[in-house]
């Protein structure tokens, strides 16, 4: 057994390449000194959708977001849409105070990391559901800070409050602390990933790590397993694709946030991070996820999908072909992924593979597919599409824009200058820093959960997607 306590500090929106550049330039000296000097720096791979909230699920539950039933910051459940539409069971948004429902939506299938410890604390995190212990959380404080910051853009003050509370909890002896720092993500949305304002926030967070470490006695500090991680990166956005307007132009009547009160609708469009959107077709199948052949049997649906594939800002579409087969279509080719022979996937391509990886042999192991895909622009694409579509709450078609584009042209405040949510390399790759010495140089973010339990001498309860890094 290694450490007796654990702290996970999640720097929301920190990009791996930006982090690496700052480390190399000596601009993160406290993380280098207190975490990496005795530990490890890994390239992590996140979960679809690469958005705040769902991308926290791997750290706190050890499973991918889709598998946990949270396939977006907004989702729609067709199986429940026949009755009253606007209940939480049918349509969900985790934006604002709705974020606190995420743990409830995951349910009791998976055990949160809090339940493995005696004195856990959640600071500003979306996921604060627990079962068997008293969890110290601060929902009211988070709500007040976030409302103020959305009006003033003073996200550095939110991060400072999170750091202050994390330090207090660790000094009081809490044995597990999860703390969310939203500043990098929110400021990048306002600017771009390498804007001076954003880079200064990386440096402020590094300074906070130093203050926290120095506030603890050396012996106590040595007992704490630290993970400093990110949930996703972002890319600069120059064009907003009007996804809703494109649907309306092909004859559809969509519902979407915030316009969810239409009585008669035939489509639901739910964006996540603005660079991924789930689209739910109510015709011809309105009570369950539809297969592609069913969707395109309606002329209006086919026109809409053709319009998307012809659009300069759309990269590719993903969809269900049947219960074990997924399809991916781009402008220049189609990929079919047949998962009917686990743990393998059988592959076939017409034209160019939209996901860019080599399909020689037509078959690969799904758990090992990260190695085949990590050098493409869409790392871990096979595993991520499989886990995303494992949820019945995922759209019939998932839309992925090209880098530089996002999918929400209206009702966006503040306007996003950077976006996230997709399989893009810069969204998927995240820094994972720990004071634990491991041999690996890469990991999935789901690997943090079992590694924490292994190092602190706790047995995993139930099935998880991650692998121990020790």
- Give the domain ranges of the chain: 5-68+109-236+424-455, 239-419
Buried b / exposed e across 273-288, counting CB within 10 Å, b at 16+? bbbbbbbbbbeebeee
| Reported pTM | 0.96
H helical segments located in 342-437: 369-373, 381-388, 425-428
Strand partners, 76: 91
Instruction: Please give the class, per CATH, of domain 5-68+109-236+424-455.
Output: alpha beta
Q: How many residues does the chain have?
A: 470
**Count of CB atoms situated within 10 Å of the CB of 341:** 10
H helical segments located in 54-138: 57-61, 102-106
List the chain pLDDT tens, one digit each, 470 residues.
599 999 999 999 999 999 999 999 999 999 999 999 999 999 999 999 999 999 999 999 999 999 999 999 999 999 888 655 555 678 899 988 888 899 889 988 899 999 999 999 999 999 998 878 899 998 999 999 999 999 999 999 999 999 999 999 999 999 999 999 999 999 999 999 999 999 999 999 999 999 999 999 999 999 999 999 999 999 999 999 999 999 999 999 999 988 887 778 999 999 999 999 999 999 999 999 999 999 999 999 999 999 999 999 999 999 999 999 999 999 999 999 999 999 999 999 999 999 999 998 899 999 999 999 999 999 999 999 999 999 999 999 999 999 999 998 777 777 899 999 999 999 999 999 999 999 999 999 999 999 999 999 999 998 999 999 98
């Amino acid at each position: 057994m290694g450490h007796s306590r654990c702290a996970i500090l999640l720097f929301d929106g920190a990009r791996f390449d930006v982090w690496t550049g700052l480390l190399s330039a000596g601009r993160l000296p406290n993380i280098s000194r207190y975490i990496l000097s005795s530990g490890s720096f890994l390239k992590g791979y996140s979960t679809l959708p690469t958005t705040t909230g769902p991308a926290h699920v791997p750290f706190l539950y050890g499973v991918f977001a889709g598998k946990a039933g949270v396939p977006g910051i907004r989702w729609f459940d067709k199986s429940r849409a026949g009755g009253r539409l606007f209940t939480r069971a049918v349509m969900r948004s985790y934006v604002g105070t709705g974020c606190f429902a995420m743990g409830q939506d995951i349910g009791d299938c998976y055990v949160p990391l809090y339940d493995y410890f005696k004195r856990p604390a959640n600071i500003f995190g979306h996921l604060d559901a627990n079962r068997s212990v008293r969890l110290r959380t601060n929902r009211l404080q988070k709500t007040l800070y976030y409302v103020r910051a959305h009006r003033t853009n003073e996200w550095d003050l939110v991060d400072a409050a999170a750091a202050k509370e994390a330090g207090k909890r660790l000094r009081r002896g809490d044995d597990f602390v999860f703390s969310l720092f939203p500043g990098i993500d929110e400021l990048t949305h306002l600017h771009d990933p390498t804007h001076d304002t954003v880079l200064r926030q990386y440096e402020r967070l590094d300074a906070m790590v130093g203050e926290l470490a120095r506030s603890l006695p050396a012996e106590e500090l040595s007992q704490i397993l630290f993970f400093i991680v990110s949930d996703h990166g972002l890319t600069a956005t120059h064009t907003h694709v009007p996804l809703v307007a494109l649907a309306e132009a092909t004859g559809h009547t969509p519902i979407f946030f915030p316009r969810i009160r239409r009585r008669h609708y035939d489509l639901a469009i739910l964006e996540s991070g603005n660079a991924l959107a789930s689209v739910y077709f109510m015709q011809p199948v309105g009570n369950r996820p539809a297969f592609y052949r069913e969707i395109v049997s309606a002329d209006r649906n086919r026109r809409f999908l053709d319009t998307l594939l012809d659009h300069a800002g759309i990269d590719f579409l993903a969809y269900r072909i049947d219960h074990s087969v997924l399809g991916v279509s781009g402008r220049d080719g189609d990929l079919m992924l047949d998962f009917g022979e686990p743990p393998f996937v059988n592959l076939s391509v017409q034209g160019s593979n939209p996901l860019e990886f080599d399909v020689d042999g037509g078959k690969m192991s799904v758990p090992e597919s990260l190695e085949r895909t990590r050098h493409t622009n869409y790392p871990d694409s096979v595993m991520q599409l499989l886990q995303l579509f494992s949820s019945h709450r995922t759209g019939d078609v998932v839309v992925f824009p090209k880098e530089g584009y996002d999918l929400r042209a209206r009702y966006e405040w503040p306007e996003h200058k950077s976006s996230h949510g997709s399989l893009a390399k810069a969204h998927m790759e995240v820094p994972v820093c720990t004071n634990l010495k491991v041999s690996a140089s890469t990991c999935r973010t789901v690997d943090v959960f079992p590694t924490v339990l292994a190092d602190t001498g706790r047995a995993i309860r139930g099935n998880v997607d991650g692998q121990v890094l020790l």
